[in-house]
């Protein structure tokens, strides 16, 4: 039996700081309608999809930032997305800022079944940037101020999608650059990784020049390598364009388990890209070169979990 599903990445153009959730949700609904017309069964929206990428703005008092966070899902603002999912029979992935009843703040994503039930929740583990205002940076990237590292690990769940089931997992933006995150998902036989991102076109750390085309290349390299080495599909969806005067590079992609790009966004605006995935394709890598049970040597990987920073090697002695 073939296990085919139609995947969509729903790239969002910029959402300006002054724009409310109603604007973002309205645009997302149009993308869901398009996804339905194009036969998609899963739609992946970006990281922090409901607002501007607010960690670029410094707020001394965190409570003043509460308006950027969701305290419930669905809420009045997000309910139309859940209704559209039900209407079209489409599951969707949504990235948002989460404020829990206990006061914890996370950069979160959920996968919502067409019935409206949340199937899987993930909280971003690798938070880039810094905690305090950095006068050297051209643009602030305050994720370490606004979020705690996720406390859910990298969960994978087997869930119904269309007429079949798929092992789904998630990562968020910076996570895609960490092979450890992909491998933890791979070790749970993930077949579909959903990930959203907001990546500036410029490296704003002022520690050297990084060419624009390499910023995109590094993103694609990481996603293609992660999908290939873990024999899974990946839907990677960007927020794109000039947001609050700062450029995000877009280039959303859908990748197959061979690491090939099946579809790529070409605009820096709202754009839907679609690809058909035969989940059976995950078997080849899993049974051959990346048959983990046969080939992995974890006894030689202890540094991966025993150590965080790198250590200098011993110096060769004559
Ligand atoms: N949102 C996010 O994780 N963005 C990072 C850029 C960080 S630059 C400090 C990324 O890895 O794409």
pLDDT in tens, 159-184: 999 999 999 999 999 999 999 999 99
pLDDT of residue 230: 98
Helix or strand holding residue 228 (H, E): helix 212-229
More confident call, 206 vs 109: 109
On whether the CB atoms of residues 134 and 93 are closer than 8 A, the answer is no
**Local structure of 155: helix, strand or coil:** coil
Q: Which two tokens stand for residue 199?
A: 């990546």
Q: Is 276 a catalytic residue?
A: no
Task: Give the number of other CB atoms < 10 A from CB of residue 263.
Answer: 18
- Taking 80 as the threshold, does the pLDDT of residue 243 lie above it? yes
Catalytic residue among 70, 98, 124, 239: 124
pLDDT of residue 257: 98
Task: Indicate the length of the chain as a whole number.
Answer: 318
- Taking 90 as the threshold, does the pLDDT of residue 311 lie above it? yes
List pLDDT tens digits, range 286-309: 999 999 999 999 999 999 999 999
Distance CA 154, CA 162 (A): 24
Measured in Å, residue 52 CA sits from the centre of ligand 1 at 14
Ligand 1 cavity residues, CB under 6 Å: 47, 128-129, 141, 173-174, 177, 197-199
On whether the CB atoms of residues 168 and 111 are closer than 8 A, the answer is yes
Query: Per-residue confidence at 190, pLDDT binned at 50, 70, 90?
Result: very high
- Taking 90 as the threshold, does the pLDDT of residue 203 lie above it? no
Helix or strand holding residue 170 (H, E): strand 164-172
Q: Which atom of ligand 1 is nearest to the CA of 53?
A: 1
| Strands 91-99 and 105-112, sheet pairing | antiparallel
List pLDDT tens digits, range 113-140: 999 999 999 999 999 999 999 999 989 9
Q: Which atom of ligand 1 is nearest to the CA of 48?
A: 1
List pLDDT tens digits, range 57-90: 999 999 999 999 999 999 999 999 999 999 999 9
Domains of the chain: 4-306 (3.60.110.10)
Measured in Å, residue 289 CA sits from the centre of ligand 1 at 31
Mean pLDDT score across all residues of the chain: 97
Distance CA 106, CA 141 (A): 15
Pocket test for ligand 1, best of 97, 143, 144, 199 (most atoms within 8 A of CB): 199
Catalytic residue among 70, 98, 143, 173: 173
* Sheet strands side by side (includes 4-11): 118-123, 105-112, 91-99, 42-44, 4-11, 271-278
Q: Is 47 a catalytic residue?
A: yes
List pLDDT tens digits, range 44-60: 999 999 999 999 999 99
**Local structure of 22: helix, strand or coil:** helix
Q: Is 144 a catalytic residue?
A: no
Q: Is 311 exposed, middle or buried (0-12, 13-18, 19+ CB in 10 A)?
A: exposed
């Amino acid at each position: 039996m073939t296990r085919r599903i139609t995947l969509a990445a729903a790239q969002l153009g910029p959402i300006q700081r002054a724009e409310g959730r109603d604007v973002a949700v309205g645009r997302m609904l149009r993308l869901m309608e398009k996804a339905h017309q194009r036969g998609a069964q899963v739609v992946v929206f970006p990281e922090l999809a409901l607002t501007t990428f607010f960690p670029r703005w410094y707020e001394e008092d965190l409570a003043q930032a509460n308006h950027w966070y969701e305290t419930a899902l669905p809420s009045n603002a997000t309910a139309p997305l859940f209704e559209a999912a039900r209407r079209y029979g489409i599951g969707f992935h949504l990235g948002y800022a989460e404020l829990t009843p206990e006061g914890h703040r996370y950069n979160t994503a959920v996968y919502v079944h067409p019935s409206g039930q949340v199937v899987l929740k993930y909280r971003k583990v690798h938070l880039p940037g810094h905690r305090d205002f950095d006068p050297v940076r051209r643009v602030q990237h305050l994720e370490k101020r606004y979020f705690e590292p996720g406390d859910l690990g990298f969960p994978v769940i087997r869930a119904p999608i269309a007429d079949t089931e798929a092992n789904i997992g998630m990562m968020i933006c910076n996570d895609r650059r960490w092979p450890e995150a992909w491998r933890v998902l791979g070790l749970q036989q993930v077949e579909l990784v959903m990930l959203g991102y907001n990546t500036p076109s410029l490296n704003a750390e002022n520690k050297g020049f990084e060419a624009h085309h390499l910023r995109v290349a590094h993103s694609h390299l990481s996603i293609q390598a992660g999908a290939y080495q873990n024999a899974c599909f990946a839907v990677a969806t960007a927020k794109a364009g000039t947001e609050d005067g700062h450029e995000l590079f877009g280039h959303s992609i859908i990748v197959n388990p061979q690491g090939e790009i099946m579809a790529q966004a070409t605009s820096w605006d709202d754009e839907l890209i679609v690809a058909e995935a035969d989940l059976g394709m995950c078997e080849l890598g899993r049974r051959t070169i990346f048959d983990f049970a046969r080939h992995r040597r974890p006894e030689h990987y202890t540094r991966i979990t025993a150590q965080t920073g790198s250590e200098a090697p011993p110096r060769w002695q004559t």
